[in-house]
Structure 1
């Protein structure tokens, strides 16, 4: 690869990865502000639009392991280009849609396939392979942060374009930017000299089998599915929720942009912290903060100031989970088969995203409010924080070491056990409180609390 004089190879790699991420995720983040104009123009329900985006997330997730495996074998650039072409095609189909089916095919299936190729799994795997280990977490954090930079700039611009020219014409901005990003991914095609010279010791299938039988990797998938639930629920439904509680369309769009702005600082800070402190403990803190903030979104009366401050805090922990999760996978199994391993990690993310986007739409259509879903997001955040305390971020060991005794295990896990017990007690107390309150004649309260009770009775829940 020829390198421009004065620029290091890492600089060029990061520039290409950051720009592609900024455009891909920036355009994706604007989907929430299309909910109202598309629903009104085509006469479709919130649930129908939510289903289209849920399908997008599911296709995106299912396609990422395949895209990752192909990039591991044939190079990332080809996969990124194919993803960009499909992404553009999806937006073109959506722009010409006249029915729910057109939106589902365009924004659902085709855009989902495009995101599978031109998205985090392939871009981060490529950057992870091309950057040495000592700088890997910071490089992954920088690349992730640019996804939020795209969100910060594109959401208000797209909102203005929709107001001035309509939602159909506004899609051409995303189409043009994705075309440029697709043409700029060539630096991500190369192998790092150190990794390219190594002999392949295991196949992708063998590595995947080891990973799926490794408890810490599986727990990482479970935790990251909660991230998908949170990010897509908020990205798609936050504008509508804020309008439901009396805020203007401008505040709703500004709230999403604020999330993107503050996530830049949050993700960069996590990149620095991730090289110095335990990544799993940092993830537990991030998910715990999310759980608290989401509870505050419904517990505190909503004003413009509360909306923007809450969005700022959410922004700090928004995509900060991505570089930490990716770094843990690389620590556990190395960069050799990062594409397919990242693909399954992001598949779990998109399964959570499907539930977060489609479920929230159904819930609002049924109850006229998102309040119960905010409580569900809060409970899942606390649960994910506990899960990450059980994850070992060290390299995978194929030979099992002598197992410590039960008393030793209990002593080492005393903080985790205490956190789990306190969480269960809190959730049970919340459930009892809900049972007592229901029946007092407050129908809206009853609906909200009924959702909490359903969560408490889910399989593996404290009352399940």
Structure 2
């Protein structure tokens, strides 16, 4: 027991989860790099290609709450292994496509289901099962796994597309997902109680309730949704997170490289800038996790969304054929703020919904991806119609400021009243007994 306290296995599980998230994140970097190559090879409009990205983003979000429930019923290891295989299949099969519907099937459906099964609900499940102390910090580190994947893959994929073609880049993503599978199979444990240990920071071994005989994964997910929709806090969190998705994955993550290319910036240079966003996102998200353990999460969300909105309103004036210092300042700032919203949002779901927090957060995250899907398609439509992205940046900036207002509307949850036990019957019996002599 002493050695387990020196190095708790929770850190091994967190490390494997981080690597799995990095492996799945390879595809998250792919769409922005391949938009123009696919347009050039097949002649598909950017709006059509963006629609495939939107399907991916939508399924990525809608799968999350069901994946969280599946992890409760069948275990983290099985679900994550299957998810990685779906990502590999979806990315690898794109090299055989000849029509746009096949792009939607591979990019949208297969990869959307796979990455959605390892979305942020996966992070909430791991931290909820394994950590009491440092939960906010670990949430930040795991969330940064997606940013690390973007950092690792984006410049590599851009150079592969430039040196070879987009098919090589797609196959590299498939291979990366497959390489993570053995780590998950051999090292991703289900629960500390399986090892006879308490959660990290806990004092007692807590046995998880067996899922067998209980409701199915779909019922668990839908039950979490029913719990959420009856709460005002859910709608405020979901509304803010939908705007978060629109202003990150949907707009900047998908359209920053094409927008920079419109202003004469080489795609490899733009990919490098977006990779820097990923680099600073790691720092920002870990710092946000640290702050979440110490500062009111409502205040953090309002600050993150408000500052993001202001930066997006400035962005259209920063695009030029050369990368100036002001653009680098934007990249650093936006990277620090990219998914810094996740740790406080997870913490608030746990505060408002208790043990159902991971599943409810899955639905909050679904709203994130709905917002991302709308923004991905909408920005592509704006670009096709107006020939530029300026309107999209301004709308996103205004929405982000609105999300800051929604965050400030969240009320602190009142603690549950402590039930007062009734006075034991034995305390009143002697008084009644003492009265009897005087009666007679």
Shift of residue 384 of structure 1? 0.2
1:325 corresponding residue in structure 2: 345
- For 1:398 and 1:111, how far apart are their aligned partners in 2? 46
Distance in 2 separating the partners of 1:85 and 1:396? 43
Say if 2:307 is the partner of 1:289. yes
Deviation at 1:126, TM superposition (A): 2.0
1:211 alignment partner in structure 2: 228
In structure 2, what is the Cα distance between the partners aligned to 1:34 and 1:59?
A: 20
Question: The residue matched to 1:320 in structure 2 has which SS?
Answer: coil
After TM superposition, the score normalised by the length of structure 1 is 0.80
Distance of 2:182 and 2:31 partners within structure 1: 23
- In the alignment, is residue 309 of structure 1 matched against residue 329 of structure 2? yes
2:263 matched to which residue of 1?
245
Instruction: Give me the whole-angstrom Cα distance separating, in 2, the residues matched to 1:75 and 1:282.
Output: 33
Counterpart CA distance in 1 for 2:34 and 2:71 is: 32
Which residue does 1:350 correspond to in 2? Answer: 369
Q: Cα offset for 1:300?
A: 4.5
**What secondary structure, in the 3-state scheme, does the structure 2 residue paired with 1:44 have?**
coil
Deviation at 1:212, TM superposition (A): 1.8
Q: Whole-Å Cα distance in 2 between the matches of residues 200 and 211 of structure 1?
A: 24
Residues 224 and 349, structure 1, Cα contact 8 Å, conserved in 2:
yes
- After superposition, the Cα gap between the structure-2 partners of 1:323 and 1:29, relative to the gap in structure 1 and judged at 3 Å, is farther
In structure 1, what is the Cα distance between the partners aligned to 2:173 and 2:235?
35
Partner SS for 2:183: coil
The CA distance in 2 between the partners of 1:198 and 1:93, in whole Å, is 39
> 2:64, 2:118 within 8 Å by CA — same for their partners in 1?
no
Structure 1 outlier segments of 4+, above 6 Å: 3-6, 200-203
**Is this contact kept in 2: 1:13–1:127, CA < 8 A?**
no
CA displacement 1:250-269 (0-9 Å, x = unmatched): 32111111100111111111
Matched residues, number: 395
Contact between 1:222 and 1:348, CA under 8 Å: does it hold in 2?
A: yes
| CA shift for structure 1 position 196 | 4.5
Q: Tell me if the contact between 1:128 and 1:140 (Cα under 8 Å) persists in the aligned partners.
A: no
Q: CA RMSD in A?
A: 2.4
Q: Report whether the alignment pairs 1:20 with 2:30.
A: no
| Structure 1 unmatched runs, 5+ | 400-464
Structure 1 214/199 Cα, relative in aligned 2: closer, same or farther at 3 Å? Answer: same
Change (3 A) 1:398 1:371: farther
Structure 2 counterparts to residues 385-404 of structure 1, below 5 A = 385-392=404-411, 394=413
2:18–2:142 contact (8 Å) kept in structure 1: yes
SS of match in other structure, 2:29: helix
